[in-house]
Amino acid sequence: MSAPFAGVLCSKFSPQVALISSILGLGLATFVFAEADTFWQLLLARGAQGAASAAVLCGGLSLIAETHPQNVRGKAMGYAQSGLAAGMLMGPIIGGLLFEQLGRKNTFRFAAGMVLANAIAMILLMGVAPPESSWGGEEREKKDDVHKKVVEGEEQQLSLVKSSRQLLRNFDILAVTASTFVIHAVVGVIKPLSQVVLDKEFGVTMVKRSFIISIATLAFFIAAPIAGILSDRMQRSHLVALSLVLMSCSSAFFALRHLGLWAFYLSVALLGVAMGVQKSSSQSLLADLVDKHKLGEYSMVYALSDVADSLGLIVGPLVGLALSQIYGPSVGVLSIGILCLLLTPVLLRIA
């Protein structure tokens, strides 16, 4: 929920400042993990890590939107999301191997050192000045119009408060962030239930469970760059709508798992594909909408998207698991899957 502060940091200084500051914070939080001896120290470190991660996403996505024109922005977003998935895939494997060889403290120290080295490399390669857009001519002039309003011949910078209010009143922006919310709500329900289902219903071992659930991350890794490339060639709102349909199918196959383990495999794979398609296309679409409606800085729309992401992961399990306990084990995930379908026509109407 620290994303709005990250958005302000991007707007007041630059995406690089937010990105590098968050990487430094992430490195320090990781170092605290190494030295922590109590539960409260671990809780503090985890909270700091989450706050820093929000700023990483906000700063990174804003930097991509600032430096890539509309016709290649989707491809860049797709590669960024694929990098995120690669980290999620490789992190547990590398971390586990290091943990066996070095122990907990040295593993976290090594990770903290890598993160801090990354921050230093960013400072040397990018600096902290606001980025220069990589395009010119008419498109550059359009971009300048997004950040400034001309009133009687005088340029006035859009205030942060005013641009934030405009974001919250824009129906298209809210529709895209709603898609982020419901997509992550489904993930929030399926993720905790998966361990229980694989153990109690299918008798799958812990190691095999980890591999099965990682199918989603692998599907995310493959789908994100493909969706990014496609979003540069077709209507981005249609791809977001497609991700909602895929996620509703994922929830349906999760409910049909009594047909066999193959249904669960398909549910997890569709979940990963839906996540990859939604993230790559929606982040590009949000930048397009900021340009189209002259809503100011990109950072605040990505902060709003990150808040929707977090709320989905919080509200989804609370509502979905409560419904499952009252009405049946699959009712919660099916209910949120239906919400995905109901939201689909709203996304299709975005021009």
CB 207 within 8 A of CB 59: no
d(CA 88, CA 32) in angstroms, rounded, equals 21
Q: What is the pLDDT of residue 103?
A: 85
Residue 219: is its pLDDT beyond 90? yes
Please say whether the beta carbons of 294 and 256 come within 8 A: no
Q: Which of 46-55, 221-230, 255-264, 341-350 has the lowest mean pLDDT?
A: 46-55
pLDDT (0 to 100) of residue 270: 97
Task: Compare 173 and 108 and report the one with higher pLDDT.
Answer: 173
Q: If you ran DSSP here, which 8-state letter would residue 113 be given? A: H
Please say whether the beta carbons of 321 and 226 come within 8 A: no
Once rounded to an integer, what is the mean pLDDT over residues 210-231?
92
Tell me the C-alpha distance between 334 and 319, whole Å. 12
Distance CA 35, CA 12 (A): 34
Q: What are the DSSP E strand ranges found in the chain?
A: 148-151, 154-157
What's the pTM?
0.85
What average pLDDT is seen over the chain?
A: 84
Please, are residues 89 and 221 in contact by the beta-carbon 8 Å criterion? Answer: yes
Task: Report in angstroms the alpha-carbon separations of 203 from 193, 196, 314.
Answer: 14, 10, 28
Rounded-to-10 torsion of CA 14, 16, 20, 26: 80
Q: State the pLDDT at residue 181.
A: 96
Which of the two residues, 97 and 349, has the higher pLDDT score? 349
- Asked if pLDDT for residue 156 goes beyond 50, the answer is no
Assign 142 a pLDDT band (cuts: 50, 70, 90).
very low
| Tens-digit pLDDT profile for residues 231-244 | 999 999 999 999 99
pLDDT of residue 88: 81
Q: What is the DSSP letter of 201?
A: I
Give the integer Cα–Cα distance in Å for 258 and 176: 33
Alpha carbon of 70 to those of 35, 132, 239, 308: distances in Å?
A: 45, 15, 16, 24
Q: What is the pLDDT of residue 40?
A: 85
Element (H, E) at 225: helix 206-231
Compute the chain's Rg from CA coordinates: 21
Span 271-322, pLDDT tens digits: 999 999 999 999 999 999 999 988 877 888 898 898 899 899 999 999 988 9
Query: Could you tell me which of 87, 58, 76 has the C-alpha nearest to residue 305?
Result: 58
pLDDT above 80 (res 11): no
pLDDT given for residue 137 in this prediction: 41
The more confident residue out of 133 and 254 is 254
